[in-house]
Structure 1
Amino acid sequence: MRIRRERRPRRAIPGISPRDLIRESLEGAGARPSRLLITLVGTVLGIASLVATIGFAQTAAGQIAQQFDALAATRVTIEPGTSSGPGGKERATARLPWDSVERVRDLVGVEHAALYAKATGSPSVDAVEVQDPSAAAKAPPPVVGASPELLDVVEGGIGTGRFFDSGHEQRRDRVVVLGSGAAEQLGVNRVTGQPAIFVDGRAYTVIGILSEVGTRSALLDSVIMPIGTARAELGLAAAESLDIRIAVGAGSVVAHQAPIALNPNDPQVFKVSAPPDGSALRSGVEADVNVLFLAIGVVALLGGGIGIASVTLLSVSERRGEIGLRRALGARTRDIAAQFMLESFTIGVLGGLIGVVVGLFGVIGVCLVQQWTPVLAVWAAPVGVLVGALVGLLAGTYPALKAARIEPVDALRDA
């Protein structure tokens, strides 16, 4: 016969409610504000160093990529400039020769060259000769003169028709090429049937419509005519710039030789915009990498300083009895402060020495794995030790001052 036992209800185990647990944890964390602050700063610096390292690496990579892109640029622009005469007075603005293209065409690295100039005086441009007086006035598209090789220099594309050639320029034919924006404004969408537009009342045949350009995007909204025609019909007095398309890496050579070809007697009168040379790229990359790792090192040093300050502050709290006894035996406040600052200084020096050794072996180890040639600055080791000592000294200042302000009676009572 089985005897059925009655189950007794389980007693509730006393514990702390979640609300009380949260309150007690907050009160415990805030019981020592100075230690809480230093701990928070250490955590913040640790996370900040992680985020900053990722951000700095990506930023440096972007900067280095931009410098390589600049080196790979294939365009040199030469513009008229001024030079200083006797007594520091500026001479008249120099002019680009009208045969500039022929002068630079055979230089090493030059692939295409074109003169470019915008017509002055804002000539009128219309698609019809008779204007409706009641129609709203619109700003005409700009008119520019250019050499036949402009299309190759700006890496442009013709949507319909063709670009003018050297024959049009030599004969000074009244032909134009419209940018896609200018063609839309003038209502010209094709060149079959030889449509014409009127520039200052003179008829010009539209032989092509420009659909795209790699540089000088303003050309898409312009009316482009041979520069010889612009000189004869619009009184174009001077060219604004000589645009040169070059081979990759030839920027420095062309930038040096082109002004001499244009004006052998005074090549400095021209303003030259060219891609940087290899040495400038190397210097730029080295500077970016140095700044990147210097920033990472500063963040790491801040973390180390916070660690020293936290340990020293904890030591002050644990040695209150010792501090009180020293004060009672005649130690002055500056003696107590000097003791703790010297301890922090010693920690900083030891950390600097060990850090230098670890850093050197780390560099050598990575170079061996990656088969790199290690480059070690002679001044890095002593500077590392000095920086460690300085960080330790600064980090121990606040805990030392706090220890010096402890009264002997209070310290001995708490001991």
Structure 2
Amino acid sequence: MTELSPARLRPGDLMRVGGSGIRARPLRAVLSALGIAIGIAAMTAVVGISSSSRADLDRQLAALGTNLLTAGPGSTMFGEDATLPDDAVPMIKRIGPVTAASATGTVEDTSVYRTDRIPKAQTGGISVLAAQLDLPATVGAAMASGTWLNAATGRYPAVVLGATTARRLGSVPAVLIGGRRYTVVGVLQPVPLAPELDSAALIGWDAARTYAGFDGHATTVYTRSKESQVSAVQSVLAATANPENPDEVKVSRPSDALKAQQATDNTFTQLLLGLGAVALLVGGIGVANTMVISVLERRAEIGLRRSLGATRGQVRAQFIAESLLLSLLGGAGGVLIGTAVTFAYAAAQSWPGVVPAWALAGGVGATVLIGAVAGWYPAVRAARLPPTEALAAA
């Protein structure tokens, strides 16, 4: 007597059998896949937005350069505010690798108002800075409108507003600085490497001395140097700016501050990824619950298949395939939603849209893993049902 052996299910047959359960209950399948989709979309969007932000930072640094250093007065050994010598900027320009140097100076006890009707207490946090004429070229600033100060306007009551200052004051032809009317000749675009300029009103160095009581001491010196010599210039900048008291000079590299800010953003990104993982776990539980209910509802089908010769392995493979298809349906939807959210947000922020390939691969891998885990127990339970018991229960 010839022993019969069960027919083998080919991969295509297995996918059709697994998909039949999903097609039979489309609403339940969609709701179960939705949990997976939300988790994958959240994680993809978080990674994509973070990567887009980093790409924008890299683009900014590539355009602005990482060779900008700043020097400013610190504190004396007695805790008092120090000052830079009058010749600090000319001395710094003598450093060999330095290609440009410029400065701003804080004009003390002077506020900016749109009109004389504004209460004096409402300064808006706007600072008044005396600026040297070569400042924009040194810090990489560009004009949003109007022109920068020149040899003529730098001597008279003319002012250039930072980006934040212009938003606060609105479109005005002139502002009041220290009770004197200054004509607005230009507005700066945001300056990433010198954000203190965004919330300032900048007047000429000579005009500040003449009309605002400026003492002529620089409070921030901006220095550009050769890319290969930045560290060397940084090591001698304090001693050059103030040879007698180099310890009273603070030296910083603005690009490092931007990178530190990005590191802080990365910490927040990790938190959001954790929340996305929780959503993904909840989605996996939803898939497992759907598969368990599917086994209970389809005992007649399982019994009939077993009676017709299907092995336990084939029944188990059918339900695992169904769980995988269900998870992949949610995962594919989640990846598409997350990618769309990333590119939409990046476009709104004028960032380059970036979704790393590893994030897409990780999203697919996570759905496969969740599908396998969620479908394993229901598949084993279905395979263990005796045919007679399954048909009798039906």
Give the TM interval when normalised to the shorter protein. 0.3 to 0.5
If you compute each CA radius of gyration, which structure gives the higher value, 1 or 2?
1
Answer 1 or 2: higher relative contact order, Cα 8 Å, separation at least 6.
2
TM-score, scaled to structure 2: 0.46
